[in-house]
Chains A and B, each alone.
Chain A
Amino acid sequence: MSKIKRAIRRKRAIKEIDNIKPMSKTYMTIVTLLDNPLISAEELEAELKYDPLATAAILKIANSPYYCRASGQIKTLQMALTLIGNMQLKDISLMKMSESHLKKERGYSERENELHEESIASAVFAKLIAQKISEDQNLAFECALLHDIGKIVLGRILSEAESEIEKILASGKTFDELESEYFGITHQEVGEMLLKKWNFPEEFVKTAGLHHTPYLEPENRLLQIVSLADILVMLSGLSTATDGLYYDADDKITERLGLSEDDMMQIMEQGIADFLELKNVFGSKG
């Protein structure tokens, strides 16, 4: 493939980043507020006063069986803060914040909402892995939720590559090698740029940028968690996307995290059950 064509496509992909609309300001503010463990319900309510839909949306997810066994019990933000806590509410707000962006992806997948569902599944799996090895569960959930965000940009131009895709994959290349060869840029790199542009913390930027190459930072446990969650989601069969299972699976990743084969099977079993509970509140199909 000619270097010039690749350079042009890379330039175009980077330009596409500017065409992605910013994430909702209301949710962005809420996510920042919820980072403070001493946040009061009054402060939250003051912020959400002019956005009753956002409050309703947050409470709806808080009442899903994933967060609350007695569904319908959480009627106010005060109750939500008391019963499920600020960090879980932050996870929920981040899910609402990224929902419309992730749902719009068309290119990697012909099915509606697929990237959104995969992202939620990755988040749920990452939380279970973090729980198992006593790492920060909420941070793992949040970074995994946004690790593939670069696909919303590359997806916009991926359909043009249809005939090339078959050819490149048949030659035994991984999908990130395909992205590099065709676009001169990968969805990891684009995700990194996008999250940097939106001022996300360093952990988010790094996990998005390195999730298919976790061996580059073997000491970074959060990166290993998100990368393993991504692998388990691909294996679980939640995606009909073009990139399928065309990725390398780092053979040392479970060793680095001290996980056995049985641990992984249990995480997959529990992860699928958790994902199905959470997915229903978003009204996804299938």
Chain B
Amino acid sequence: MIQIVKISDLKVSDKSADAIITYALGSCLGLVIYDPVVRVGGMLHAMLPKPSGTGKNLFQYVDSGVPLLFKKCYTLGAKKERLRIVAAGCASLMNAATIFEIGKRNIAMLEALFKKNGVRLNASMLGGHDSRTLRLDLATGKTSVRVRGKEIEL
């Protein structure tokens, strides 16, 4: 089954027949983690680095969504040391003022979180000006990005 991750949403699965997809990562961060031994994986689509207002939806933010993605996969049997971690998205507009550089702020928040927790990215496709679709196949852990009709494996 195909599970769709909406904006400010998160999905995890331990079913080999599943694929998890998020469409249209603009400046949002798409993060995939996958444990090949138990074939458990998940995806987060976070819009902003951290809450500025009331911020009720924890999946909306990198600072609260990323830890939840890891926790939910641990619950399904994934182990931190076996995880393959892939990030995509965080694009920016051209000649944009600092105020619009949400993508860069999302990357900075992710890097800070990973540094603090001793986690490293295995692959990434971050920045640039493309709006990307991100997909994870649970059976194989294959993670790919689709841009203008072309698929690129990460």
Contacts and interface: CB of A to CB of B under 8 A. Distances in A.
Contacts of A254: 97, 99
A72 B29 CA distance: 37
B89 A249 contact: no
Interface in B49-68: 51-53, 55, 60
B143 interface: no
B7 A234 contact: no
Contacts, number: 112
Given A235-B102, A251-B96, A251-B97, A245 B129 contact: yes
A236 B60 CA distance: 11
Interface residues of B, number: 39
Contacts of B91: 244-245
Contacts of B92: 245
B33 interface: no
A167 to B, nearest CB: 12
Interface residues of A, number: 38
B93 A286 contact: no
Interface stretch (B10-18, B20-28, B76-84, B112-120): B20-28
A160 to B, nearest CB: 14
Given A265-B53, A269-B52, A166 B148 contact: yes
A20 interface: no
Contact of B148 (A165, A238, A239, A265): A165
A174 B96 CA distance: 12
Contacts of A251: 95-97, 99
Nearest to A238: B24
A234 B4 CA distance: 20
Contact of A244 (B102, B130, B146, B149): B130
Interface string A238-266: 11111011111111101000000110111
